[in-house]
Amino acid sequence: MRLLRIRGRNLASLQDDFTIDFEAPPLAHAGILAITGPTGAGKSTLLDAVCLALYDALPRSPAASKDQPMEVGLHDGRRVLSHGAGEAEAEIDFIGRDGRRYRANWSVRRARGKATGTLQAAKRVLTDLDADQVVANSKREVGIEIAARIGLDFDQFRRSVLLAQGDFDAFLRATGKERADVLEKITGTNIYSRISIAAFERNKAAQAEIDRIRLQLGEHQPLDETARTEAEATAEAARQALATARARQEVAAETLRRVDRRLALEAARTAAAEALKAARLANDAASPDRDRLARNRAALAARAELAAADAATLGLARARERLGAATTALARAEADHETARTARTGAEAAVGRCRDADAARAPHLAEARRLDEQVGAAAEALAQARRDAEAAAETAAGHQSASDRLAAAIAEAQARETAARTRLAALEATAPPVSDPEAAAETLLERAPLDDELRRLTAGLDDLQARDRADAAETGRLAAIRDAAAARMAELTRAITAAEAEADQAAARALRRRRDRLVQIDHDLDDLSEVMVAAFEAARARDAHAATAEDATQAAAAATAEASRHRTALPVVEARLDEAGRAADLSAAAAEEHAGRLRALLIPGAPCPVCGSTDHPTRAVDDLLARRLEADRTRLADLKAGLAALTTALARAEERARAETRRAADAATARDSSAETLAAATADHEALLTRLADAAAEAGLDALPPLPATEAGHETTDHRPPAARLAGWREAVVDAIEAAEARIAAIDAAATRAAGLRRDHGAATRDRDAAAGTLADLAARRAETGAAIARGEQRRTDLEARIARLDERLAALLDAAHPDWRDSLAADAAGFAALIRRRAAELAEAQATAEAARAEHTRLAPDHAAARVRAETAAEAADRAATHAEDCARSHAALRDSRAALLDGRSVAAVEAEAEAARNAARLALDAALTRLTEAATAHARAMEARTQAEAAVTAAAETSAAADAALEAARAALDMDADTLRAVIAAGAPALDAEARRLDALARSLAEAEATLRARQEDLDRHLADPDTIASGADTALRAVAEAAHAEAAEACAAAETGCRQAEQRLAEDDSRRVAAGRLAAALADARAAADVWAQLNELIGAADGTKFRRFAQSLTLDRLVAGANRHLGELHPRYALRRMEGAEMALEVVDHDMADEARAVHNLSGGERFLVSLALALGLADISAGRGLAIESLFIDEGFGALDPDALAMAISMLERLQATGRRVAVISHVEALKDRIPVQIRVTPRGAGRSGVEVVAG
């Protein structure tokens, strides 16, 4: 990571916007730079800005101040918001570990942006500058993305990149786990944690697998021999019972089917009889409808007379409507004409009134125009006077405001000076100043931890001596455990040898293979039994379907012959029907009503208009035609009935032929399918015989009975069930399986016993090795404890001498100002040191405030006197302008009052416009009245003409309607039909009569079809009752309830037999499965135990649930590398000291003091300056490691700490930091030490500007 730019505003004392650009001169080429400024100016706030932008956290934990209450927690980054500010922002640009440029932004605000508003949640945004797009914009996502792009979380960043004020020795003070986390992140060695966890999980899974197999093995215990024999006998008896029950069920089912067929045929015959009866009744009831149809067809001839009468009536009604409308229009035209004459007279009078009003108004308008001109001039003068007065008043107010501001500033400066001098006097009265407050504070901080360190050292020596005594007792106990474990190991070795001799795994594998072959033979026997049953069923089904196909073929041939006879007779009947129809049509034409009406018009002696004859024998002709028409109609009806009967018979014969043909085809298909099934079953039978013979030879089965061979059809001399015919083979196979499994179980038991003994031997070995290892560790630890006790005694002596030297220095610095400094040191050394520094800063601040206020007072006094003179002059000018404006206002008001008395105060233009509008309205009204009068006269003349024409039309329409009604009445009288009936018939038309004729014909056809259906249903019933199988089964007379009860009883018995057989066979199958599963599980258990031993040993070495065992070992090696790198830097900074890893602790550190004969010291016993140098060396070592692992830390920040170094150590530290420039790193040092600032030319200065504000600038010395 490399910083490019820092920007912020309203962060603590840095309230103004500031930007630090590391890519611009002089920072671009500075490998080392200093961040300088007085104490409290805000130097560390720059580091706060970096941490806020990256991690939303502060590297320090400041306490709450009086001005800013505790709205948020101590570690919350929002605490950095400046007092009185409504918002704050921190932003940095940096290069990530992927080489890309990023910008991290952090901001916080109060509600509505006001300083008094509630503090809101902080916002974070991460932007990829190279791609110009936002990477993340929520707090959680930004935190994740920044950690990924930098490679460090906040704590790791604080310990390896940032040595914050008061926290620069964080890596030294960290726990072992915290150090491991930092090193793991920097070096990328987290794979060791995953390996450790994986070893633990694999061992856990292996043990769980063993437990699972044991549990399953307990759940798969097979039956003993006696129970197995009883189960087989039960199964065979159940099979016999099932075969008997199925046969009974088939007989009962066939009987029930024949009874259902008989009942269905009887119901069909009854339904056909009922349908015939209904058809006859419907046909008889239709006779009146046939007579009505003939009369209605004759009525259609009067359609023209009816249409003419309706049209004439409609025309008369419309003529009368037009006459009424013309009369109404004439009355309306006369009223409109009179109204128009009255309107013209009124409009002429209005025009005269407008002329009189214009003459009376003229003098008033002239006077009003004159006054309007005077009022306008007065208004302009008033407006200008008011503008002049306002400008003068504004000028006077400005000068007075400036004078007041200067007076207030002078008063404020005097108050600040008085307050500052009062505070300065109070501070000096509270306690005399310390001669060198910074040196006193540093010495106090160095002296503070030494008493606690001395107490801890003494307590540690007591603990070491107690531990040495406990280790001596533990040594004796562990020696006894080691010897007992060795004796146990010898005993277990002998037992393992004996158990392995019994567990012959080669023989077990051979037995398992033979058992598997025997189990397969048993399954093949089941398949053979099923194939034999399938062959028997297929043969029986084939014969039954063949018989059905033959019967259906014969029935189809008979139906086809009958249909052929009917089809031959059909043309003859159709020809006769056609001839009879033509004759009936001729008779009907001769006798139709129209011809009758023509004959009725003949006059005796006069010629016929058709033929010209004068002889008219109409009566005899009418009688002859009527008799001929009746005879033709009777003959036509008989022929139609015969044709319908013949068509119905033909359709029934063809349908029966098709049905029987389909039944024959279905039976043939079923027969062929059954034959194919029989062939497939025969082939499967042959294949199973061959496979069983080969398998029996491989399994070593001898003296077996012969297997049943295939047989044609289902006829065989051996009527036993297949299971009984295969019983000899099955018994031999089961006996062989049981023998093999017994031997396998014995071998598995021996193997299990051997594995258990090996585990016990391994446990005893581990106990012995653990005891021996612990004894060795105890011996080494006792030696180390003795050496540590000696070192501790020497360290206690040195520490007491150091305490005495520091007390002498503090007495010289503090006895005069703080005679009770020893009590304050004991109570709160850090607080006492902060108090000394704070009082020194307060004295300096009060003095500076007083001097600044005095200088400001002196500067403002002349300006205030000049401003007061300008204000007085401007006030006099404003008074004069106001008096002139009042005079103008009075003149303007007098003119306005005079003008208001004329024309009611209205404008001349408004009055003239009103008069013009009245004149125009009067003229327009007159023009409109004349126009309406002309139009009304024209409309009246047109209405008179329209009424005359309507009266003539009504007269003509009445004559036409009377003639049409007379013609219609003559036609209705001839038909002997009332008017409504005639109108309804003609309205329905010929389609309705045709539909009625079709309905009557359909009734006749339905009667014929019902008669044919009844005959067919009776034939079907007679044929079924004559069937020998029906008579033999008693289905021709049996009640359905009896047959159904017999079938239900047989089905229930069959279901019970099936359940018993299934349960018995299921019990045998489950026992077979348990036998196979038990053998398989025993082998799996042995394999699982062998695999688990490997994982148990690996888990013992490196496994841990949290991955710490292997991880700590790997990180201890990384820590050795870090210590070596840090020692290289420490050798240059302070050759007296060197770091090393504490023996017996994987991640603990201690310091070797070369000046004290390489004495080891705890890191917390170092002084402030020593801790700073060691922490600096560690930070540089971490940077070296990260650069070597691809995590380049190119920026290092050091906040304070240099004040604890003596001049020589300070010079070496600066030289070391300067040499880092060659490696491409940038080091930023935050300090107020003058020597450090003089050595570093490029500086970022933080300068106080008063009122708690500071500014930031970059300078090059």
Condensed to tens digits (0 to 9), the pLDDT of residues 444-489 reads 777 777 777 788 888 888 888 888 888 888 888 888 888 888 888 8
Q: What does the pLDDT average to over 326-343?
A: 82
C-alpha to C-alpha distance for 837 and 1232, rounded to whole angstroms: 13
Burial class, 978, CB count within 10 angstroms (exposed 0-12 / middle 13-18 / buried 19+): exposed
Buried b (16+ CB within 10 A) or exposed e, 871-889: beebbebbeebbebbeebe
DSSP state of 149: H
Condensed to tens digits (0 to 9), the pLDDT of residues 114-151 reads 878 888 889 999 999 999 999 999 989 999 999 888 88
C-alpha to C-alpha distance for 863 and 122, rounded to whole angstroms: 47
Q: Rounded to 5 degrees, what are φ and ψ at 92?
A: -135, 150
Consecutive H or E run containing 985: helix 979-1025
- What are the residue ranges of CATH 1.10.287 in the chain? 517-604+617-714
Q: CA-based Rg of the chain, rounded to a whole angstrom? A: 64
C-alpha to C-alpha distance for 1178 and 1183, rounded to whole angstroms: 9
Find out whether 75 and 94 touch, Cβ atoms under 8 Å.
Answer: no
DSSP state of 110: B
Checking if the pLDDT of 70 tops 60, the result is no
At 1221 the pLDDT is: 61
C-alpha to C-alpha distance for 406 and 396, rounded to whole angstroms: 16
**Three-state DSSP string of 692-754:** HHHHHHHHCCCCCCCCCCCCCCCCCCCCCCHHHHCHHHHHHHHHHHHHHHHHHHHHHHHHHHH
Find out whether 475 and 778 touch, Cβ atoms under 8 Å.
Answer: yes
The listed range with the strongest mean pLDDT (81-85, 823-827, 1224-1228) is 81-85
DSSP letters for 321-356: HHHHHHHHHHHHHHHHHHHHHHHHHHHHHHHHHHHH
Q: What does the pLDDT average to over 791-813?
A: 81
Find out whether 49 and 1255 touch, Cβ atoms under 8 Å.
Answer: no
Burial class, 525, CB count within 10 angstroms (exposed 0-12 / middle 13-18 / buried 19+): buried
Among residues 738, 712, 668, the alpha carbon closest in space to that of 522 is found at 738
Condensed to tens digits (0 to 9), the pLDDT of residues 160-214 reads 677 655 555 666 777 777 777 767 665 656 677 788 888 888 888 888 888 888 7
Q: What is the dihedral of CA 937, 941, 943, 946, to 10 degrees?
A: -160
| pTM beyond cutoff 0.75 | no
- What are the residue ranges of CATH 3.40.50.300 in the chain? 1-151+1197-1261
Condensed to tens digits (0 to 9), the pLDDT of residues 612-649 reads 555 555 555 566 566 766 777 787 788 778 877 878 88
Find out whether 1151 and 1229 touch, Cβ atoms under 8 Å.
Answer: no
C-alpha to C-alpha distance for 572 and 567, rounded to whole angstroms: 10
Structure tokens at 382: 């008033």
C-alpha to C-alpha distance for 142 and 131, rounded to whole angstroms: 17
Checking if the pLDDT of 55 tops 80, the result is yes
Residue whose entry in the numeric block shows the structure tokens 């009860």 = 1045
Checking if the pLDDT of 5 tops 90, the result is yes
Other Cβ atoms within 10 Å of 643 Cβ, number: 17
Condensed to tens digits (0 to 9), the pLDDT of residues 1182-1220 reads 766 655 555 566 777 877 666 666 676 667 677 777 666
Report the percentage of the chain scoring pLDDT > 90.
5
C-alpha to C-alpha distance for 276 and 1009, rounded to whole angstroms: 8
- Whole-angstrom CA distances from 954 to 326, 329, 452, 943 are 12, 17, 139, 17
Q: What does the pLDDT average to over 864-874?
A: 78
Condensed to tens digits (0 to 9), the pLDDT of residues 563-589 reads 788 777 777 777 777 777 776 666 666
Checking if the pLDDT of 692 tops 50, the result is yes
At 509 the pLDDT is: 72
Min mean pLDDT across 57-71, 325-339, 836-850, 944-958 is at: 57-71
Q: What does the pLDDT average to over 511-521?
A: 78
Q: What is the dihedral of CA 155, 157, 161, 165, to 10 degrees?
A: -40
SS3 6: strand
Q: In sequence order, which residues have a C-beta less than 8 Å from that of residue 1238 and are 6 or more positions away?
A: none
Structure tokens at 772: 């021996």
Among residues 743, 759, 748, the alpha carbon closest in space to that of 495 is found at 759
Condensed to tens digits (0 to 9), the pLDDT of residues 908-960 reads 788 778 878 887 887 788 788 778 777 777 777 777 877 787 777 778 778 77
At 69 the pLDDT is: 41
Task: Decide if domain 1-151+1197-1261 falls under CATH 3.50.4.10.
Answer: no
Consecutive H or E run containing 3: strand 2-9
At 1045 the pLDDT is: 78
Burial class, 723, CB count within 10 angstroms (exposed 0-12 / middle 13-18 / buried 19+): buried
Backbone angle region of 904, left / alpha / beta, with phi > 0 → left and psi within -120 to 50 → alpha: left
Structure tokens at 841: 């800063």
Checking if the pLDDT of 107 tops 90, the result is yes
Q: Please state which of the four CATH numbers 1.10.287, 1.10.1330, 1.10.357, 2.60.40 is assigned to the domain occupying 517-604+617-714.
A: 1.10.287
Tell whether omega for the bond before 721 is within 30 degrees of 0, i.e. cis: no
C-alpha to C-alpha distance for 596 and 618, rounded to whole angstroms: 9
